[in-house]
Amino acid sequence: MAFAAPPQAAWRSAPAGPSRGGVCGCAASRVWRLCLVVCVAVLLVAGVAAAAQAASDSTFRTPFDARIDALGEHALLTLPPQDLVDSGRQKAARAITDLRHGIFFAWAGAQIWAFAWLWQSGRGAQLRDRLRRLFRSRWAYRAAFGAALGALAPLAGLPLAFVSYRIGFNVGLTEEVIGNWVLDYARGMLADAAFAAAAVALVLELVDRTRLWYLFFLTILFAVSIEIVGVAPVLFAPLSTRYVRLQIAAAAPVEMANSSVRSQNVDAWTAGIGRFTRIILSDVLVSVATKPEIAYVVAHENAHVEHNDDLKKALIAITMFVLAVAFAVLISDRITFRRDDDAVSRLALVAACLGGVALLMFPLFNAYARGIEYRADEDSRKLLGDEAPAVRYLVRSADHDLIPLCNRRSTSWYFADYPALGSRIAAMRRTEDPCPHSPATR
């Protein structure tokens, strides 16, 4: 549950498959496995190295933090939110947000175009034939085709993801150097390729074996996804981030992450399900915020834990993914077949349609995410009985992380997965909402 985090790029990219034609199937699959193992090992080592480069003793304070510390309680509780934030920073925040939203559509469009091109140009069918010659096993060539699809999306989106990263770097939202960013991107890319390989091989095999394939697939998809989301903070996150347990009492263990290696945001979030749940505070937040602010942030995250929000969000996201796939298959079925098409090569067309449907469904998920943020704020307000630290934290988020106090109309219904900071301040203090496009509080 990102506390105030920008939407994350979901698709990244993986190294292209090896090889020349004419290699025997078993040798080729050994080479392929070896490459995969080497890649995973390199990326894990790189991840641990990045984690070790923790900024444990550095300070992340900006001149804006001193100004926010000096704001009196009376001012925090009575002044209009726009008078509490720095007006110059707000102007920059609005410009950067607009720019990044434009880049988001270009980034998504580049991936959809890449899939459509792969199918339309016949390259998808050629790739399928080449992989079929290379790998004797049906499982292997289908998985390799899936991995290629999983790698294509992040490759197509790479230039725009890089531009977005450099914008963040230039305005101080991240201090991650290019080498580490590329390693992070490559790690995500490898995960995408592995997921797509497994999903494609599994679905096509189930389709071959049973007419009730979708029932089996849904069961496996939900079970595996929930399992992965559930254990992520304990099993996967420590591979690339270092965590330190904090002595703060809450519904789940509270840990500090060295997230400053990637982001300078004053963030906090919850992760995991059941006994693996963790409340995670960024080292930047712990370094710059006052103790009462941290108490508010922990109380807010505590509400997410008590309401099982991570589990609910994961279930909703998987259900929406399943619906999006169903719509994508329906749409692609209405598009004329090419002569060289089969169920494998046509997956590129399905992926292009899936991208389009996902863009349309994106605001539905965000609407749900925004609702649970208001509830978590309200729970923390009741628990602490003091609104000033919450307002101070929200003002700090706006200045420190360059977040607009109010959203444009398009942002408030499409992009925003949390309510506008100005609306949250108003809801917290029971004062008038300064944001004209925040429907949830009006």
Which span (203-211, 285-293, 338-346, 376-384) binds Zn ion, by CB under 5 A?
376-384
Query: What minimum distance in Å lies between the beta carbon of 377 and Zn ion?
Result: 8
Stretch of 197-205, 219-227, 353-361, 371-379 contacting Zn ion, by CB under 5 A: 371-379
- CB of residue 317 to Zn ion, shortest distance in Å: 16
Number of residues that bind Zn ion (CB under 5 A): 3
Determine if 155 is a binding residue for Zn ion (CB under 5 A). Answer: no
Among residues 354 and 435, whose Cβ is nearest to Zn ion?
435
- Of 156 and 376, which has the nearer Cβ to Zn ion? 376
Minimum distance between the CB of residue 1 and Zn ion, rounded to whole angstroms?
A: 5
Question: Nearer to Zn ion by C-beta: 283 or 310?
Answer: 310
Q: Which is nearer to Zn ion, 124 or 389 (CB)?
A: 389
Residues 1-20 that bind Zn ion (CB under 5 A): 1
How near is the Cβ of 304 to Zn ion at its closest, in Å? 6
Closest by CA to 270, choosing from 300, 236, 315, is 300
Q: Under a CB-based contact definition with an 8 Å cutoff, are residues 260 and 283 in contact?
A: yes
Q: Which stretch binds Zn ion (CB under 5 A): 20-28, 136-144, 310-318, 370-378?
A: 370-378
Return the number of the residue (1 or 28) whose C-beta is nearest Zn ion. Answer: 1
Contact status: 376 vs Zn ion (CB under 5 A): yes
Closest approach of Zn ion to the CB of residue 373, in Å: 5
- Judged by CB, which is closer to Zn ion: 299, or 352? 299
Q: What is the CB neighbour count within 10 angstroms for residue 127? A: 20
Give the range of 173-181, 255-263, 367-375, 434-442 binding Zn ion by CB under 5 A.
Answer: 367-375
Q: Residue written as tokens 């101070």?
A: 392
Distances (CA, A) of 56 to 62, 242, 285: 17, 10, 12
Q: Which stretch binds Zn ion (CB under 5 A): 12-20, 73-81, 366-374, 400-408?
A: 366-374
Q: Which chain residues interact with Zn ion by CB under 5 A? A: 1, 373, 376
